[in-house]
Structure 1
């Protein structure tokens, strides 16, 4: 018996970096995304609550996240998931104060709005479809000859952008350190009488003579002639600085890479394959179903973004963006590896809950493991918002749950309305999808798995604890050895310690085999405090040891091909297949 304990303990002793302290889940889903979320009770309640909460909010004009304009702002929202072909929710509100704004007389998921900077998402999507990540590390001067002609040196870096140091990836992630706007934010264009406020009289050549929205769109030559006069904001890769100009340059880069117009590449590579026929770069020729508050000029409906279109000039519908969102979550156009690489942060901001990608605006949400649970985990929501004229928009994706939603809105101060609606929908639906995933995982995986020849000596019990992330292993014996007890002895853990083993899906496998990795946490917490505390280091211990070229923490569930439930469990390091009892 002693020899068995020593052998089992020696296997686990290799995991010297295992977490001691709190249970800190790996980043990503703690259960496989729900395959049938609509069968969950929480899912059904969320659908009911969406209607009820929105109806009540519009009736009262208030929500727990702030006031909701029920008079002068119209909006359309639609939710989608990979496992549902039809929308999981669809809601449209035509504000009574915007009568006459609907060209068809009806507001629905096919009504066209302007989407502002949500266009940037489609621009990067188009770029990745054209050349993948191969050009992300290339200087923009390789693709835009006008920039290659502009030189700079350390002596004049306060006055000139060193374009040779600006990469395509820096532009896509707002890390180029260049100007935000060409003319839109220039006060000399908006109001030439600022001398009364102490501003100097400007030479006429210092005032932008073109650009969105006034006085007219720039030609390519006018744009680059004027761009040379702008100062840099930061050196590249210093800090995120939002830039619309960056995406105009990306539009030119895409044209250089493909030898085709940006509009042609966008349409043929992204919109047509997805059937997003109501999405366009330019003003739709036939807008029989559109929303235009007040008139086309006041609303900004017909403002010509011209070459700035890749930054914020596009038009779309909630129905189309459901198709676009599904395609991203489903790896439809880019493939799994490239899409996963795309959906990662490229820089932090000064907020602990906000990061930036290309061009993702990543919101980090602390999500309870279960309703009313005191334990939480981090969920990253990949979003892109936009504003142009009186239009505001956002798309939100949760890769952990294969779920997302789009909100399109128009009216005075519609941007604030979009933020409030985003909070409401996230508050309702994120816990619902987490609950649906948990319910499915319980039904599919929780149970005891044993060696048919020696059930009492070799078995694993997979369990669920509402305050611990993921599935757990509550009991584990191999050839009569209590693996969890052996591990605690090996670690010289205090007598009151327990070992928590959590299982997390890896996304590896197929319809018959599902891969998981385990993390080990010695409780209660005995960690140090301070900036260099070793809390939440489970990620560093994953695959921390192998035995015969197989990770000690690797587990595979074998699924029944009829009902999709686990029929077996293989702790692969022990070369065993345990059958569900």
Structure 2
């Protein structure tokens, strides 16, 4: 992968202005456009121990790690060692779920495209040893199930962690070693690691959490537990992640010309497998990739977040374009990253990405929508004040009380508006989640039973 690295004064100026607008300690941006790499890095790794951010600063990329897990899994598919349509129990016979039929029938492909029917995740810590992932999978009998396998899409961290166990059982090696040997090394990703012992000797970014008084404090947890590595455990650099984007825009060959993944499988990852309704995550899921049609072009991407660090990673295959944005403060890393991605799409491709406009709210609908909705770690209260609707998302007290991980502060209630159409789709209109979209789910009798936010179903409890 030869490259020419250049700078763009307009990009750098916009990134600097965005960092100032959102009070972001550090941001790293990498773009592949017109056959060249363009970099912009601003700010520092930490407010307590400030070191300039560069293209080689390691950030925690959270769920963007799923693209690596999926690629490693598909290498096993290419070798004939895994069948995407086979039940997961073919490779993880020890799998036990709340529903035996689901445990016996859920397939590998359904884990990859988030149609397994799993709740988001389990909040537990099974240790940092090589048995951590196996122990996590053994605890999946406690995981709530949202639907039968294949019935609907709902984004699940637990599902991708289970894919990591598929990889371990098939290869007989620890998950992290398989990814390092079959993905990192052949693609030439020398700055990508799972273990904090590998990261702490390099230049790395610290996450930050904004406190009630507006100040930023360094997050004392850098990443999640080992069992969450398949779904979100990689620390990597802007330079490596941009190289990863170029690999996925290519033909499946690695840094030294060897085939890492056959071209047909590489491209199959970006083919829609299930559509999503009014979701900010995507219009459809491929095999891991989140697919969106924006202003006439198809985008494939995957974001990631955790402990005050945020990643936005987007490809526009038909235009041979990739962008990586990494930032290190919560909660405004999300809107900061999005602003930079949108600016770059318009500046380099002439592609306009904008939020939909809500319609005036009919106050008579307030009682129908209002209520308490729930997932494993959070409770969401929907309510109306006059002609304005709000979603108030709070981490459950028992999750905070359990300790062991650093939980970000709660956000103020988000105002939202109903979109044109059937009246069940909405968009958040202000705050750190501005532009996030979702919908209210109904049962066969037309009663509202849940609300989707960020690809996850919050079930109605009152």
TM-score tier, shorter chain, comes to 0.5 to 0.7
2:191 is equivalent to residue 264 of structure 1:
no
Aligned pairs (5 A) from 1:302-313: 302-313=222-233
**Residues in 2 aligned to 1:404 and 1:329: alpha-carbon distance in whole angstroms:** 8
Deviations 1:462-498 (A, max 9, x none): xxxxxxxxxxxxxxxxxxxxxxxxxxxxxxxxxxxxx
Which protein shows a greater Rg? 1
The root-mean-square deviation of aligned C-alpha atoms, in Å, is: 3.1
* 2:308 counterpart of 1:379: no
Per the alignment, in what secondary structure is the counterpart of residue 11 of structure 2? helix
> 2:119 maps to which residue?
179
TM-score (norm 1): 0.52
Q: Distance in 2 between the 1:78 and 1:287 partners?
A: 23
Asked if structure 1 preserves the Cα contact closer than 8 Å seen for 2:115 and 2:153, the reply is: yes
Q: CA deviation at 1:384?
A: 0.5
Residue in structure 2 matched with residue 83 of structure 1 by the alignment: 35
Deviation string, structure 1 residues 158-214 (Cα, Å, up to 9, x no partner): xx561121111100111100121111xxxxxxxxxxxxxxxxxxxxxxxx6x3599x
2:89 matched residue in structure 1: 141
Deviations 1:53-97 (A, max 9, x none): 3344456x2xxxxxxx1x34421000124833xx1x21112169x
- Structure 1 residue 304 displacement after superposition: 4.5
Q: Distance in 1 between matches of 2:133 and 2:18?
A: 47
SS in 2 for 1:226: helix
Alignment of structure 1 residues 22-61 onto 2, 5 Å: 47-58=8-19, 61=21
* Alpha-carbon shift at residue 274 of structure 1 (Å): 1.8
Aligned to 1:390: 308
Q: Does 1:336 align with 2:263?
A: yes
The alignment partner of 2:67 has SS state of: helix
- Residue 405 of structure 1 and its aligned partner are, at CA, apart by 1.0
Query: Residue 299 of structure 1 contacts residue 391 of structure 1 at CA under 8 Å; is this kept in 2?
Result: no
Does residue 411 (structure 1) correspond to residue 329 (structure 2)? The answer is yes
Instruction: Tell me if 1:123 matches 2:69.
Output: yes
Deviation at 1:415, TM superposition (A): 2.2
Q: Of residues 264, 275, 278 in structure 2, which corresponds to 1:348?
A: 275
Q: 1:271 to 1:225 in 2, by over 3 A?
A: closer
Distance (whole Å) between structure 2 residues aligned to residue 298 and residue 237 of structure 1: 41
Q: In 2, Cα distance between the equivalents of 1:235 and 1:344?
A: 23
Structure 1 residues 101, 165: closer, same or farther in 2, change over 3 A? Answer: farther
Verify the 8 A CA contact 1:300 1:390 in the aligned structure 2. no
**1:242 partner SS:** coil
Structure 2 CA distance for aligned equivalents of residues 269 and 82 of structure 1: 29
| In structure 2, distance between residues paired with 1:273 and 1:417 | 33
Residue 230 of structure 1: CA displacement?
Answer: 2.9
Structure 2 equivalent of residue 231 of structure 1: 144
1:166 corresponds to which of 80, 88, 106: 106
SS across alignment from 1:145: coil
Determine whether 1:94 maps to 2:43.
yes
Contact 1:251 1:310 in 2 (8 A): yes
Runs of 5+ consecutive residues of structure 1 not aligned to the other structure: 1-37, 39-43, 62-68, 184-207, 367-377, 433-581
Offset from partner CA, 1:291-323 (integer Å, 9 cap, x none): 12469x952554452122010111000000111
The number of residue pairs the alignment matches comes to: 328
Equivalent of 1:420 in 297, 314, 339: 339
Residues 23-42 of structure 1: CA deviation (Å, up to 9, x unaligned): xxxxxxxxxxxxxxx9xxxx
In structure 2, the gaps of 5 or more residues are 210-216, 254-259, 352-462
SS in 1 for 2:319: coil
Shift of 1:284: 4.1
Q: Distance in 1 between matches of 2:14 and 2:233?
A: 32
CA shift, 1:255, in A, is 1.4
**335-344 or 265-274, which deviates more:** 335-344
Q: How does 1:288-327 map to 2 (within 5 A)?
A: 288-293=202-207, 298-299=218-219, 301-327=221-247
Q: Secondary structure of the residue that 1:292 maps to in structure 2?
A: coil
TM-score (norm 2): 0.65
| Separation (CA, whole Å) in 2 of partners of 1:57 and 1:347 | 34
Q: Give 3-state SS (helix, strand or coil) of 1:110's partner.
A: coil
Q: Is the 8 A contact 2:192 2:240 kept in 1?
A: yes
For 1:236-267, what per-residue CA distance to the aligned partner results, in whole angstroms no more than 9, with x for missing partners?
Answer: 11211111111111011011222222111111
- Aligned residues of 2:126 and 2:227 also touching (Cα < 8 A): no
Q: What is the CA deviation profile of residues 104-132 of structure 1, one whole-angstrom value per residue up to 9, with x for unaligned ones?
A: x2210000010000010100011112223
Corresponding residue SS for 2:61: strand
CA displacement at 1:100 relative to structure 2: 3.4
